[in-house]
Amino acid sequence: MRDKHEPHDAFIDRLESQIISEVRQRNRQIDAPGWPMRSRLKLAVAAIGLVLVSMGVGGAVVAAAYQAQSDEQRDLLAARYYLSLDVAKSRLEIQSAELRTTERRVAAGMASNDELREARVKVALAGVSVKWMQSFVDEVRLTGREPQDGLSASLVSGRDFVTERLNATAEGTKVSLDVEMARMRDAQTKVEIGVADRYTVAVAQAQLIEVQVALETLQRKLAIRQRFVKGEIDAVQTDLRVLEAEAEHRLKVLKPKIDLAQQQVEQTARRVSVGAAQNIDLAEVRLRLQQLEADLAKAQLDLEIVRKRLSGKDDK
């Protein structure tokens, strides 16, 4: 298979024909009487010059073809993200319309506040998606390649697309946090008035912690990104810091989930003892608890490995 940077066979044939024709013409002039020896040197220089010029022309043709191909790939890639952007905008319009409908239904007493909160979260997440897709389109237009989301990615024409997308995600997460805090308050109120048990609060608390930790991790990644952009840490240190933050994120999220699963096992065991649940139900919740504990152990191991690598990197 021919390398795409190689000149085409037709170009090589034309180049060879030109050189042969030029050499034959020069040879006829050399055979003529009175041709000085220094002209032979000029002939050699002229032949070399012809080859170099021909090669330069061929290289320009190849470069132009390659640039055209690169531009076409960029346009195709950008078109794909434009399509995703249109879909994201349509989804935002739909979610916004549903939010307005839910607001009217709540005002009429036909929907709950929880439904309204959920609708607001959907609008916020749809808005994040639009910002991400627009950012992707802009980056592809500037670079001609797939967007880069790693925290050690370079700036593009002075623009920090990575930070832009992290900030957009953080904005959406803050909306989710407000919703989970409201749900937590609702759960506590239900327990206080006796219409729900403590398990309801535990569920709401686990969900709240998950969103809080997500926002903390995003803010931490933003700080890591800024350190990289300022040149305070290199790419390797940046990637390791990200792995550390993600491992700690998993640990913080898994612990309340394990507490919740343990409560669920206890509840299910009591229900089995009075005939309100079957042994298979108890086996399922125990299996889920074991899986969460295994995930926690893996997260702890991952964190230890990353910190060890970071320590070795910092010592150098």
Residue 37 lies inside a defined structural domain of this protein: yes
- Is-above-0.85 flag for pTM? no
- Answer whether residue 244 shows pLDDT above 50: yes
User: Nearest-CA neighbor of 103 among 95, 282, 285?
Assistant: 95
- Answer whether residue 234 shows pLDDT above 80: yes
Task: Supply 1's token pair.
Answer: 């298979």
Q: What is the pLDDT of residue 4?
A: 40
Residue 44 lies inside a defined structural domain of this protein: yes
Residue 52 lies inside a defined structural domain of this protein: yes
List CB contacts of 123: < 8 A, sequence separation 6 or more.
92, 95, 96, 99
Task: Supply 49's token pair.
Answer: 């010059």
Residue 70 lies inside a defined structural domain of this protein: no
Residue-range definition of the domain harbouring residue 49? 9-62
DSSP character string of 188-229 = HHHHHTTSS-HHHHHHHHHHHHHHHHHHHHHHHHHHHHHHHH
Average pLDDT of span 85-112: 96
Q: How many whole angstroms from its chain centre is CA 282?
A: 39
- Span 256-313, pLDDT tens digits: 999 999 999 999 999 999 999 999 999 999 999 999 999 999 999 999 999 999 987 6
Looking at the 3D structure of the chain, how many domains does it have? 1
- Answer whether residue 155 shows pLDDT above 80: yes
